[in-house]
Amino acid sequence: MTSDKQIILITGGNAGLGLEAVRALAKTSTPYEIIVGCRTRSKGEDAIKQLQSEFQTSSTLSTLQIDLESDDSIEKAVQEITSKHGQLDVLINNGGASFDPQIASGNMSIRDAFNKSWDVNVSGTHVLTHHAVPLLLKAPNPRLMFVTSGTSSMHETIAPDMPPPVKRINASPEAGWPKLAGLNPITTYRSSKTGLNMLMREWARLLKNDGVKDKLRQMGALEPHIGGEFIRDVVQGKRDEDVGKIVRNDGVVQPW
């Protein structure tokens, strides 16, 4: 049941940043047991086939069906890891979604979009982490990672000297109501990611004396492979000095 390889679970690992993290890890000379968490197992299998067609790897790639909106799905996923591996070395909480466009298009109400965003990005992540911690504590050098957003900083909503992209995101619209819809509505998404920041701090507090290295990875609008490579570096211990912090794409610690 145990393996010499580090066992890594990446939620949302079949696309986007999650897939780039799988790619970056699988390309290294270090062999891993990489578990691609996804809502639809066939999509995870397709992603693995894609990577295997691109390069050879010494890592083992497998899929795990997990829906962050379902406690039953989460519990079954953790049970599957338990029966197959007996422990978990790294949990990368990457799975998440934005529902602001659904509000703008009229497909979801504000309340429904906020509730769903929180359920996926925060509540589901918390539930999964809660169930996975016993497996992490069985690993000799466990790591826990949360992928957040560069839009989640409270400080940067009031800081006067910020880079142009941050200024644009935090700029106030003209007076009047209703407000015109922005090019990229993010109120729901960034609010839930700010909540995720506090969730990470709570897990860092809870696991401080258990040897679990816990950090939050901020994602901006750069190429996904850059984020994937950063996640690889975290897994390999190259950012251990930043435990409990939010780290940007460029390696700078993000203010709260």
What spatial distance separates the first Cα and last Cα of the chain, rounded to whole Å? 41
Find the catalytic residue in 59, 193, 213, 245: 193
Find the catalytic residue in 98, 117, 123, 149: 149
Q: Are 146 and 93 in contact (CB under 8 A)?
A: yes
Active site residue 189: yes
The two three-digit tokens of residue 185, written as one number = 């509505």
The two three-digit tokens of residue 115, written as one number = 């509730």
Active site residue 193: yes
**One-letter amino acid of 85:** H
* Bridge pairing between strands 60-65 and 90-93: unpaired
d(CA 76, CA 41): 14
247: which strand partners?
A: 217, 253
Active site residue 138: no
8-state DSSP, 179: P
Find the catalytic residue in 32, 189, 192, 213: 189
**One-letter amino acid of 137:** L
**One-letter amino acid of 208:** K
SS3 label, residue 149: strand
Q: Are 250 and 220 in contact (CB under 8 A)?
A: no
- Phi, psi for 122 (deg, rounded to 5): -120, -60
161: which strand partners?
A: none
User: H or E stretch including 60?
Assistant: strand 60-65
CB count within 10 Å of CB 25 equals: 26
- The catalytic site residues sit at 149, 189, 193
